[in-house]
Amino acid sequence: MPSEFSLRSDSVDVEQIMEQIRGRIREKRGVDYTEDELRELAKVKLETFLDPTRVRSDLLEHYRSGHRSDLVELFSPAPVPGNFTFDDHLVFGSARGVTGRFIAGFRKLLNPILKLFINPNPIIQVLHLQGQINTHNADQFGRIAHFINDRERARADLDLLNYEVLHNLVLEMTRLGIEVKNLKMRVESLSSRLDFNERRARALEHVVQYQPGAGPVAETGRSTPPSTLPPDSGRGPTDQVNPAAKGEAQRSRRRRRRRGRGAAGGGPQGPTEANHQEQDGRSGPALLPLEPNGRASSEPASDPSDPGATDQ
């Protein structure tokens, strides 16, 4: 729920109104971090905000450095050199046209003489087989490389997604960390105020119960027999006999108690502070009302009992 402002219409100053609005947002957030500042915080100060979760502050940097785009094409196979098909032509043939044909014929003619020294046929068969094996392997390797590349690409896409999610999570965690910290502070502030209000209410009840004079208090006094008064109220039969003297004594006792409480470290929770707050019209963390030019006014922003007047 946005905060309430009290602005007059006679002289509007947008610059100052905007400053007030920014101030209110800063107040609500604790600190008004921009997106860039949040990113900076997420990068540097994670351990400060996220200590319980033990998230490493350089997590994003590690993740980023671990994500190498050049891995994607790691398995791009080098072009396979052309394979040979072993046959008679390859062994005896020549590529020199007409001369080549003559050379091939001559080699074949001399083949029986060659066979006197070695038998080339098994060698040709083995090399032919090796050629087939090479083709098969190249085919298999190509398929595997293709498969791995596909997987790598999919993984790279997923990594990008993961990075984005992680990045957003870290930002969000930082934001939440800050918010939790602020909320803790507010809860502490509220609980201390509540504690003070309870004590104040008790004190007021006490005062009202024994207020001398007319009205319900007096009636209470009249309708309550002396024996029913609490034993620690310090009132005896004399008080009932002389109400004026009793009232004076009570007032001086209350003053003494109040002084004692203030001296005992009531601090900002003490009645004096409370009275100031009431005079300021601030029942909660609502803004001081603004003049149209943005200056704080001494008038109350609104009825302090109005919940709309706070930024809860």
Partner 1 sequence: MNIAVVVQRYGLDINGGAELHARYIAEHVSRFAEVEVLTTCAHNYITWRNELPAGEARLNGLRVRRFPVKRERNPQQFGRRSVHVFEHWHSLADEHAWLESEGPASPALTKYIARHRDSYDYFIFFSFRYYHAYHGIRAVADRSLLVPTAEREGAIGLSMFGPVFRGVRALMYNSFEERAMIQAAAANHDVPHVVVGVGSEVPAHPEPERFRAKYGIRSPFVIYVGRIDENKGCKELFAHFEHYVRAVPGDLMLVLVGHSILPIPEHPRIRHVGFVDDQDKFDAMAAADALIVPSYFESLSMVALEAWALGKPVLANGRCDVLQGQCLRSNAGLYYEGGEQFLETLYQLQSNRHLARAMGENGRAFFQRHYTWPVVEQKYMDMLNRLHDDDASGRAAPPIEPLPGWFARRRATLPPANDVVKALPEGPVVGQERR
Q: Residue from 19, 25, 179, 235 that binds partner 1 (CB under 8 A)?
A: 25
Stretch of 28-36, 104-112, 222-230, 250-258 contacting partner 1, by CB under 8 A: 28-36
Q: Which two tokens stand for residue 265?
A: 């470290």
Q: Is 27 in the site for partner 1 (CB under 8 A)?
A: no
CA angle 86, 91, 96 (to 5 degrees): 115
Residue 296 φ/ψ, nearest 5 degrees: -70, 140
Task: Give the nearer residue to partner 1 in terms of CB position, either 22 or 276.
Answer: 22
Q: Is 160 in the site for partner 1 (CB under 8 A)?
A: no
Residues in contact with 76: Cβ distance below 8 Å, sequence separation at least 6, in sequence order: 145, 149
Q: Is 36 in the site for partner 1 (CB under 8 A)?
A: no
What is the amino acid identity at position 233? S
Q: Residue from 229, 292, 297, 304 that binds partner 1 (CB under 8 A)?
A: 292
Stretch of 5-13, 90-98, 141-149, 278-286 contacting partner 1, by CB under 8 A: 5-13
Binding mask 186-225 for partner 1 (x = CB under 8 A): ----------------------------------------
3-state secondary structure 151-202: HHHHHHHHHHHHHHHHHHHHHHHHHHHHHHHHHHHHHHHHHHHHHHHHHHHH
Q: Which two tokens stand for residue 293?
A: 């030019």
- The CB density around residue 38, as the number of other CB atoms within 10 Å, is 16
Q: Is 1 in the site for partner 1 (CB under 8 A)?
A: yes
Radius of gyration of the chain (CA): 46
Q: Is 284 in the site for partner 1 (CB under 8 A)?
A: no
Residues in contact with 58: Cβ distance below 8 Å, sequence separation at least 6, in sequence order: 43
Q: Is 127 in the site for partner 1 (CB under 8 A)?
A: no
Q: Is 156 in the site for partner 1 (CB under 8 A)?
A: no
Q: Is 8 in the site for partner 1 (CB under 8 A)?
A: yes
Q: State the minimum distance, in angstroms, from the CB of residue 178 to partner 1.
A: 14
Q: Which residues bind partner 1 (CB under 8 A)?
A: 1-5, 7-10, 12-15, 17-18, 21-22, 24-25, 29, 34-35, 292
